[in-house]
Structure 1
Amino acid sequence: MSRKSSATQAEPSKLEVGSEVMYLRSNRVVLDHTVGPAEIVISGGKIVDVLPKKKRDRLSGEKMLDVGDLVVMPGIIDPHVHICEPGHPSCEGFTDVTKAAAAGGITTVVDMPLDCCPPTTSLSALHSKLQSAKGQCHIDVAFWGGIAPGNQAELLPMLKAGVPGFQCFLMATGVDGFPHVGLHDLHMAMNELQDTNCVLLFHAEQEPSQSMHIPKDTTEYSTFLSSRPDTMEVEAILTIAELCLQYMVPCHIMNLSSAEALPIIKDAHQKGAPITVETTHHYLSLTAECIPPGGTYYKCCPPIREKRNQEMLWAALRETEIDMVVSAHTPCPRDLRDLTSEDFLKAKAGIASLQFGLPLFWTYAKSRGFSFHDLVQLMCKKPAILSRLEDRKGSLSPGMDADLVVWNPEAEFQVNGDVILHKNKLTPYLGFQLCGTVFATLVRGRLVYLNGKITPKAQGDLLITERKMSTKVSTPYY
Structure 2
Amino acid sequence: MSDANPGTAFDLIIRAAKAVLPDGIGPAEVGIRDGRIIEVATGGDELGGAASASSEAIEIGADQVLLPGLVDSHVHVNDPGRAEWEGFSSATRAAAAGGVTTIVDMPLNSLPPTVNVKALETKREVAAPKAFVDVGFWGGAIPGNTADLRPLHEEGVYGFKCFLEDSGVEEFPPLAPDEMQTDMAEIASFDGMLIVHAEDHEVMTQAPKNSGPKFADFLATRPREAENVAIARVIDAARATGARAHILHLSSADSLGQIAAAKAEGIKLTVETCPHYLVFSAEEIPDGATTHKCCPPIREESNREALWQGLIDGTIDCIVSDHSPSTAELKLLDTGDFGAAWGGISSLQLGLSLVWTEAAKRGIELAEVVRWMSAAPAAVARVADKGAIVAGNDADFAVFAADEEWTVHATDLYHRNQISAYDSRTVRGRVTQTLLRGVPVDFETPAGRLLRAH
Q: What's the TM-score bracket when you normalise by the shorter of the two chains?
A: over 0.9
- Residue 214 of structure 1, CA deviation: 3.3
Greater displacement, 194-203 / 246-255: 194-203
Counterparts of 1:59 and 1:316, CA distance in 2:
47
2:217 is the counterpart of 1:223: yes
Whether the 8 Å CA contact 2:211–2:338 is kept in 1: the answer is no
Counterparts of 2:403 and 2:445, CA distance in 1:
31
Q: In structure 2, do the counterparts of structure 1 residues 369 and 192 end up closer, same or farther at CA, with 3 Å as the change threshold?
A: same
| Structure 2 equivalent of residue 398 of structure 1 | 391
Q: Give the TM-score, by structure 1 length.
A: 0.89
2:413 is the counterpart of 1:457: no
- Residue 207 of structure 1, CA deviation: 2.3
| Structure 2 equivalent of residue 139 of structure 1 | 133
2:338 is the counterpart of 1:344: yes
Counterparts of 1:233 and 1:386, CA distance in 2:
21
Counterparts of 1:193 and 1:226, CA distance in 2:
34
Counterparts of 2:299 and 2:31, CA distance in 1:
45
2:55 is the counterpart of 1:62: yes
Counterparts of 2:431 and 2:314, CA distance in 1:
26
| Structure 2 equivalent of residue 155 of structure 1 | 149
Counterparts of 2:45 and 2:254, CA distance in 1:
51
- Please list every run of 5 or more consecutive structure 1 residues that lacks an aligned counterpart in the other structure: 1-19, 449-453, 468-478
1:282 is aligned, of 265, 276, 282, to: 276
Counterparts of 1:305 and 1:223, CA distance in 2:
12
- Cα offsets for 1:343-388 (capped at 9, x unmatched): 1100010000100011001000012121132123211111111221
Q: In structure 2, do the counterparts of structure 1 residues 77 and 216 end up closer, same or farther at CA, with 3 Å as the change threshold?
A: closer
- Please list every run of 5 or more consecutive structure 2 residues that lacks an aligned counterpart in the other structure: 1-9
The amino acid across from 1:303 in the alignment is P
| Structure 1 equivalent of residue 178 of structure 2 | 184
Counterparts of 2:11 and 2:249, CA distance in 1:
36
Whether the 8 Å CA contact 2:411–2:419 is kept in 1: the answer is no
The amino acid across from 1:395 in the alignment is A
Whether the 8 Å CA contact 1:208–1:231 is kept in 2: the answer is no
1:368 is aligned, of 351, 358, 362, to: 362
2:422 is the counterpart of 1:429: yes
Q: CA RMSD in A?
A: 1.9
| Structure 2 equivalent of residue 242 of structure 1 | 236
Counterparts of 2:205 and 2:114, CA distance in 1:
33
The amino acid across from 1:67 in the alignment is I
Counterparts of 1:210 and 1:173, CA distance in 2:
13
Q: In structure 2, do the counterparts of structure 1 residues 216 and 402 end up closer, same or farther at CA, with 3 Å as the change threshold?
A: closer
Moved over 3 A (4+): 52-61, 208-217
2:33 is the counterpart of 1:39: no
Q: Which protein, 1 or 2, shows the higher relative CO under an 8 Å CA cutoff with sep ≥ 6? A: 1
Matches within 5 A, 1:66-85: 66-69=59-62, 70-85=64-79
2:433 is the counterpart of 1:443: no
Q: Alignment identity in percent? A: 38
Question: Alignment length, in residue pairs?
Answer: 441
Q: In structure 2, do the counterparts of structure 1 residues 218 and 320 end up closer, same or farther at CA, with 3 Å as the change threshold?
A: same
Counterparts of 1:367 and 1:431, CA distance in 2:
19
Whether the 8 Å CA contact 2:204–2:222 is kept in 1: the answer is no
Counterparts of 2:114 and 2:92, CA distance in 1:
19
- Residue 61 of structure 1, CA deviation: 3.8
| Structure 1 equivalent of residue 15 of structure 2 | 25
| Structure 2 equivalent of residue 357 of structure 1 | 351
